[in-house]
Amino acid sequence: MALTVIGPILVDGNDDFGEKWKGSGTETDPYKLREDYEIDAAGNDYGIKIVNSEQHVEIKDCKIHGASGTRGAGIHMEYGDNVKIINNEIYENDIGIFNEENAMDYTTTIEGNDITNNGTGIHIFKAKGTVVKRNNISGNTTGIYAYQNTHDCEILENDISSNSGHGIELEEYTAYNLIKGNTIKGNGKKGIYCHHTAGNNDITENTIENNETGIRIDGDCSDNKSWKNEFIGNTVQASDPSDGGNDWDLGDPAGSGEGGNYWSDYQGADRGDGVGDTPYDIADGTCQDGYPLVVKDIGVVWGEKIEAGASIDGADVGEIKGEIDGIAEHVGLDITWEEFGDDDLPAVDGIKSAQAKELRSKTEKIDTNRHSTVYSGNETEVDQGHDVTVEGEYDTIISTSSDSCPLEE
């Protein structure tokens, strides 16, 4: 359905929501645009701008483009609190979304948007508590830029890829932020860049792949923590000249620690529990990951269905089995694959439950909800009684349920 094309929208104050809005501005009845608009800023410095408002607002399912200028933003909040920006296409602006100087008592949520081909995808300035979640942030110059005392923000599960500059940039007293579960891939400069006293940020469970530098933390930044990330094929995996001012692991998993990171170019051996036997050196200083993880998550979730001939993260079933074999070899377990089937079950390549449980117990990267049975077949709605159903025309389904392996000892 074609959207109604309109020009810029300005809201200045709690009482300035005009005819294009519906709702009452409460948490249960937020102000919403009356239609799903295409907003053409046409060279003005905003598409939608909300200033000095504490009203609850939801901006959803719009297309916003064409904002230009030093502060030209598709959506701009300036002391505009309680705003949710959901499922929009925001493109070809100097800044996709600009959130500045909101109050700690309020939250700006940016979720599920396509933010592409802007100068900066998301700019957060002197703002607190912003949640940036599950967005596609790609093809911009910088993906996310958080600046000058931005804190207590959460950057979660975004795809931050193919930006020509940095994926995420934290600068000038930007602190106490959580960067977790993102895919940060193929950015032209640094995947994550902390500089000018950006400190006390937690960086965990991200996939940081094929960037010029995976993570760079400048020497004037301290108390940043990076652990349980996967660094894969970056030209420089990580750089930190702080000489110990930042943490690249959270202690020995054999004790009460959480370990370090996975490094695709790590040269050490497994000490027997999925942790490397020698530290991994961080470039440009004396920092080390003292407990590098030598087992990479195979990236499969329970019940994921893969169409015939397709692959998971570029790996076919044979490659996945090979990776599982490699994981097993790392932890000293000899995996035996078996092929079986009966009238009610598709043909299966699998490992026995006891082996799957032992594999899980020996590496934290295959956790209590994950094991590695590979099912193959074209059956429809076949339930083998172990919490796995094959539905439709699928060649392969990877089961990760701890109860789902039909091969019992």
Q: What is the pLDDT of residues 46-75, one digit of tens each?
A: 999 999 999 999 999 999 999 998 889 999
What does pLDDT average to over the chain?
Answer: 80
User: What's residue 309's pLDDT?
Assistant: 38
Rounded to an integer, the average pLDDT of 233-253 is 95
pLDDT in tens, 308-325: 333 444 445 565 666 667
Distance between CA 391 and CA 388 in Å, rounded?
A: 10
Q: What is the dihedral of CA 350, 353, 357, 363, to 10 degrees?
A: -10
pLDDT band at 103; cut points 50, 70, 90: low
User: What's residue 79's pLDDT?
Assistant: 86
Report the percentage of the chain scoring pLDDT > 70: 72
User: What's residue 272's pLDDT?
Assistant: 83
| Residue 1 confidence (pLDDT) above 70 | no
DSSP secondary structure code for residue 269 in this structure: -
pLDDT in tens, 390-404: 333 223 333 333 333
Report the percentage of the chain scoring pLDDT > 90: 64
- List the domain boundaries for the chain: 1-136, 141-294, 304-399
The contacts found for 377-384 with CB under 8 angstroms, 24 or more apart, are: 377/341, 377/346, 377/347, 377/348, 378/308, 378/346, 379/345, 379/346, 382/344, 382/345, 382/346, 384/344, 384/345
pLDDT band at 294; cut points 50, 70, 90: confident
Rounded to an integer, the average pLDDT of 73-83 is 91
pLDDT band at 193; cut points 50, 70, 90: very high
Q: What token pair was written down for 137?
A: 């942030």
User: What's residue 341's pLDDT?
Assistant: 46
| Residue 346 confidence (pLDDT) above 90 | no
